[in-house]
Structure 1
Amino acid sequence: MWKPHAPPPQRITKSPDPESQQRNVRRIAQIVKLKPEFLDKYKEVHAAVWPEVLQQIKVCNIEDYSIYHDPATGILFATFKYVGIDFEGDMERMRENVKVREWWAMTDGFQESVVPGAKNSESGSPPWWKELEEVFYLE
């Protein structure tokens, strides 16, 4: 689901834990299309995301995760920060979680990928959500 095409701009920050390594902070934005007949269901399930899924997202070093919807186009726009030191490893750990895979199977059914050849979130390649290139950022 979160496999990037090209590395986005990164910024190195010191971890609040002095014993841990420095970490890369990556801002990631992605899109996918929501099937219009699933708008209400999509909002309903995201109003009560399964605790196991929320926990795994945090364990995999994802913060500030938001999803927006454009009703005119049906596009879902997601943005989050990856604050760990091993993005690929964390995304593999995400895929290993049975409840996350169940969540993806459910929510993928509500969506249409805009990535040619994408099969589902679990496969990871090509990614289900299309990653967007960051062209401007003001901190």
Structure 2
Amino acid sequence: MQRMGMVIGIDPASIVQYKALHTAVWPQVLATLKAANIRNYTIFLREPENLLFSYWEYYGKNFEADMAQIAADRMTQKWWAVCGPCQLPLASRGDGEHWATMEEVFH
């Protein structure tokens, strides 16, 4: 199992909408995450800095293939189209990243 943490900004004007969306995540999106070996996916909000921190545990053996499976899912693409405009990617994120990955320094 691999623990993963990521961070992204959020538009302050979108916080209420973002919270509402995440009170009822679409079932197919959740099923796709599960099929891609993602467990314990959690998102935290930090105000007044307006940062989202996400954590998940990856239980698979081929991370790139599992992430490609998620990205190819049409319902997940629609979910991202709804949630994406709420998010403000960090300037310091890596190439190809939307959420900036974080280094685990303690567990």
- Could you say which residue in structure 1 is the equivalent of 2:13? 37
Q: Deviation at 1:88?
A: 0.5
Summarize deviations over 1:58-79 as a string: whole Å, max 9, x none. Answer: 0000001100000120000000
- Could you say which residue in structure 1 is the equivalent of 2:90? 114
Give the number of equivalent residue pairs: 107
- Could you say which residue in structure 2 is the equivalent of 1:130? 100
Q: Deviation at 1:116?
A: 5.0
The RMSD of aligned alpha carbons is 1.4
The one-letter code sitting in structure 2 at the alignment partner of 1:131 is T
What TM-score results when the alignment is normalised by the length of structure 1? 0.74
Instruction: List alignment gaps of at least 5 residues for structure 2.
Output: none
**Distance in 2 (alpha carbons) for counterparts of 1:130 and 1:58:** 22
**Distance in 1 (alpha carbons) for counterparts of 2:92 and 2:106:** 26
Deviation beyond 6 Å, 4+ runs, structure 1 = none
Contact 2:92 2:100 in 1 (8 A): no
What TM-score results when the alignment is normalised by the length of structure 2? 0.95
The one-letter code sitting in structure 1 at the alignment partner of 2:106 is F
Q: Deviation at 1:134?
A: 0.6
**Distance in 2 (alpha carbons) for counterparts of 1:98 and 1:136:** 36
Instruction: List alignment gaps of at least 5 residues for structure 1.
Output: 1-24, 119-124
Report the secondary structure of 2:56's partner residue.
strand
> 1:82-97 alignment to 2 at 5 Å?
82-97=58-73
Higher relative helix content: 2
